[in-house]
Amino acid sequence: MKLFSFPAAQGGDHLSPLMLTAALLEFIGGILITVGFLTRPVAFILSGQMAVAYFMAHASRGFWPALNNGEAAILFSFIFIYLFFAGAGAFSVDNRKKI
């Protein structure tokens, strides 16, 4: 949503440098995790990004994530931490067989 303004623009007509950085991390990191390339370092970076996003954008609106709309940020942060520890799956680029 941030990078391509699809299905709706997020945050106005132009992105601040911080939002542009977040958009690029999410887009490129999402592709890398989807194919399973560099899964552990990318998941660690994205987990940190989601934690920062939660504390910068949501935590100031209240303590409970259900009330400050921060559920997605917390959920993704914990999912990325899991991927950091679990690593890529059996069909990932990281685990392909060498010929």
HEC string for 9-26: CCCCCCCCHHHHHHHHHH
Compute CA distances 8 → 2, 5, 15, 18, 36, whole Å.
9, 5, 14, 19, 28
The candidate with the shortest Cα–Cα distance to 42, out of 28, 53, 54, is 28
For residue 92, tell me if it sits in a domain.
Answer: no
81 phi/psi in degrees, rounded to 5: -65, -40
Give 31-87 pLDDT, tens digit per residue: 999 999 999 999 999 999 999 999 998 999 988 888 998 999 999 999 999 999 998
Q: In this structure, what token pair is assigned to residue 63?
A: 């303590």
For residue 61, tell me if it sits in a domain.
Answer: yes
**Number of domains comprising the chain:** 1
For residue 8, tell me if it sits in a domain.
Answer: no
Higher local confidence (pLDDT), 88 or 6 = 88
State the residue range of the domain holding 25.
17-86
For residue 51, tell me if it sits in a domain.
Answer: yes
For residue 93, tell me if it sits in a domain.
Answer: no
pTM listed for this prediction? 0.83
Helices 39-53 and 71-86: angle between axes, nearest 10 degrees: 160
Is residue 97 pLDDT above 80, yes or no? no
For residue 5, tell me if it sits in a domain.
Answer: no
For residue 7, tell me if it sits in a domain.
Answer: no
For residue 64, tell me if it sits in a domain.
Answer: yes
